[in-house]
Structure 1
Amino acid sequence: MRHYDLVVLGAGSGNMLLNEEFDHLRTAIVEPDRFGGTCLNRGCIPSKMFVIAADAAEDARAAERLGVRTSVAPVDWKAVRDRVFSRIDPLHESAVDYRRKNGVDVYTEEARFVAPKVLQVKDERITADTFAVAVGSRPVIPDIPGLETVAYHTSDTIMRIDDLPPMAVIGGGFIAAEFGHVFSAFGTDITIVQRGPRLLMAEDEQVSARFTKLASQRHRVLLDAEVTSVEPRGDGVAATVVCPDGEHVIEANLLLVCVGRRPNTDRLGAVAGGLELDEHGHIAADSAYRTSVPGVWALGDAVNHFQLKHMANAESRLVRHNILHPQDVRTLTNRVAPPAVFTSPQIASVGLTEQEARRDKVDYRTSVRDYADTAYGWALEDTTGFAKVLADPAERTILGAHIIGPQAATLIQPLIQAMAMGLTVDQVGHEVLYIHPALTEVVEQALLAL
């Protein structure tokens, strides 16, 4: 058996863990797929490159409201796709070469624990004093009768298709919202089948309701609906869908399944490795990201439920420190995990939603400010965007914030920082200058209203 000081399982955020501070140690990375993980290869980065192109097409079509006469020729999908992956695909080999040239052993086969801190990699067993488990997650494949008989796509494969036929989307979360925006902006007819009463059910209900209304103007959206079976039909697929008004058959050339993600721990032999798992298959770890096996740490989608790259990056930095400084173990000082949905309109959130505050009987006050109430909102001719802030009436601190509209993921950042630093709405609203007439005034006005 080959022995290491440190073995990292997973080369997404796990690859970020290794820096020059580990140069004196014998290290290895195990990655059976592509370096960069989901984010670089089939998630955050390529999808946002597509979103940028979709935004450009959508903005051009919408420019007439500003007095600008434009037209959009059919989008060259293959040119858009090839621009994205011509930049991304070469990065895997260069990352592997970089690690090997700098003394890190790279294993490209799938690995499983056969005992605590003993890893089987193809025909070889390796051990280590320390392991960092960052094996990520993958799309959930629902148990729908007939699904195995049709050619369907997930977020792993949808961005590499050759053309853009009419498509049906099973799921109403952030992946459906983002790809619905991308493909409809490129001229594709979209049907979304959502089990719940609204799209983006994890968002604040006011944001979710607004987005559902807007999405329903662009796509065919079936709510409170369930796909009970699928079957091949012609060059595509037919899905039987049960809706409140009865049973429908939805036909499309392409089927996209996006009903959630699951941790890859079932492929890791976690139980044989002595790792405790929660009911969802995530590795159980303490606030310092130590697992049930001494010397084994975990980070990213394998351990947390956020499925956020920025959270995994923060965890990678923390685990790096804790491995190198076992006498000074740290925990994340801020557990506020803000997500954003790069759809149209853009959505960002942090902290409590109003429905969560009601459910948990949290005393709160809230204010909502429309983009249209600001000078820049006027300039945009925006009539649907708003910023919403929830605050504790006694402590006067921010409990949550939710924005739907242009630049939402950027606009929410000062509210994230205020929550992380424990600032009051008075401090952030009154003691900070907001540039006029920038769009940040929608945040300022929401705070002043509190």
Structure 2
Amino acid sequence: MTMRRALVAVCLVMLFSSVTVLAQEGTPSAPWWNKNWNRRAAIVLASPGAAIAGVPVIIYGHALQELAGGEAFSTGSLRVIAPQGEVPCQYDECDGTGVLVTASNHELDADDELCFQADLPAQGQVVYWLYWNTTPIPPGKYEVTARVHDPVEPTAFLGDVQFHNRACLIGMKGPGTGEDPTKNDAANHGNGAVTFVDFFHHGIIRGGWGSYFPQGGLFAGPGTEIKKWQLPRQIAWGPVRCGASVVMPEGNLPLGQDQTARVKVEHRTWLYDRGAWVMFEEIFTPLEPIARLGRSFNVGFALDPAGTYKNWSSIEGEPFFAQPTAEEIAEAAETNKIIWGGNTDDWLSQYRPADRLLLSAVINQGQPLPGETRQGTSYGRTNLNLRNSLVFTNLAANQPIYRRFWYTAMQGEFSDGAVANAIPLALSPRGTAMGPVEKAR
């Protein structure tokens, strides 16, 4: 195993374990932020290799339960303090089964999520402080600029619900709208998926055949079940992110050889307040055992005929760079020749010099299940396709399976690849440690 791959493997473990296993030493000290709060713990965030602003950070309820250690815990009292002072945080509450509650229950459940956005340094680490109280304190009040709303111009492409902030406009679609749901027309694609994306006034996704995020989501393409999707509903709206969910309570999933299995599916789309950070989640639950299920997720990236776009990924943790020339792209258009590809890891970044736009996608995040296999199968002809294929075996009934996908953009000068290569480490499970609980004196 290479050193870089080893580091990534450590990062994969850290998000799911050490954020819940409290560090006992090495936590930097700092003056107490506010005497009205009686508990705190340090959140130590490692550099991903380049400075990146506004990176989403999620702390799960089970980690907060470990911090509480059986003490009373006021969820409303949660505050996040950055080196420069208090930053907005948001506490999204679930009911203990993964379902977001529509009204705050103020109960600390293992699947609750505390989120904020952090500015990561080019080197070293940065320390944020999490404060809370053992007696009730009302939630903080922050400006809310990200919105979920009805489409400005409802169409099959713009989606049934839209999100926007200062940097982007996003659309999410519910059920298929074609008269014949099995017909391969544009109205039957992108069901339950993100079908419209504008980043910094650049059109990235426009719905229809193959132009939605992520490709490969359950029941996203033509089929008999696609009208079973419910319409999207708002699930959260706060100072850090806004979200919407679309649910198929029960669908018959084709398994091949004329076999099907009943499943429940929920897709969630989140737009973060600062910058252009879009998170998509798929939660599917088999309603009966499934012996074998193959999946393949895909995100497409355009290529310009002039061959100016720069593209980065990695293969088994080793950097992989590609910039197909104009001649190669023209030949691929004529002969359908593959000009880019390999067993890439789960991310791809692309820089478009003329637009000063960096696009990045990270797909299929989630802990592998026992017996699950994954493989990158990316390829490119006249465009690039980031693909990740996987096989599940022996799935039990009522066993929820979570997958997470990121799509993000930045505007500026990023031609050296430093940020392009850092984004997947910033978004992937990575080196996050929480210090020991400190009590006010």
Task: Place the TM-score, normalised by the shorter chain, in its bin.
Answer: under 0.3
Q: TM-score, normalised by structure 2?
A: 0.24
Name which one, 1 or 2, has greater alpha-carbon Rg.
1
Q: TM-score, normalised by structure 1?
A: 0.24
If asked which structure has higher relative contact order (CA below 8 Å, sep 6+), I would say 2
Higher strand share: 2
